[in-house]
Amino acid sequence: MMKDFEKAKTNGIEAYQKELNEKKEILKVLLQNYNNGRQTNFFCIAVNLLELKDIKIVMKQIEKETNFKDLDIKEKSKITKNLFKIMAKKQNIKLELIQTDTETK
């Protein structure tokens, strides 16, 4: 959250809002085309934590998959999730929810 505040302060609120809008549109595409019904949280976390430039790189990788259109939604989802995990690992980001003790009780 602090990183986001700093980004808005440094780049200006309009530029920050533009970035958020781009991320929102990408998330819509992910949820409509690559979500097998079980990846909603994962895609939300990925789009929130990764930089826009990195998200765009992953989306270009997805577009370049020549046989992607022939795959079922489970396979598309699996490949897409894996591409985001690879990008996150490069950025030293862990894409998972962490449950606290109060959430498990």
Q: What is the pLDDT of residues 60-83, one digit of tens each?
A: 999 887 677 788 999 999 999 999
Q: What is the pLDDT of residues 20-64, one digit of tens each?
A: 999 999 999 999 999 998 899 999 999 999 999 999 999 999 988
Tell me the DSSP string of the chain.
-HHHHHHHHHH-HHHHHHHHHHHHHHHHHHHHHS--SS-HHHHHHHHHHS-HHHHHHHHHHHHH-TTGGGS-HHHHHHHHHHHHHHHHHHTT---S----HHHH-
Instruction: Kindly report whether the global pTM for this prediction surpasses the value 0.75.
Output: yes
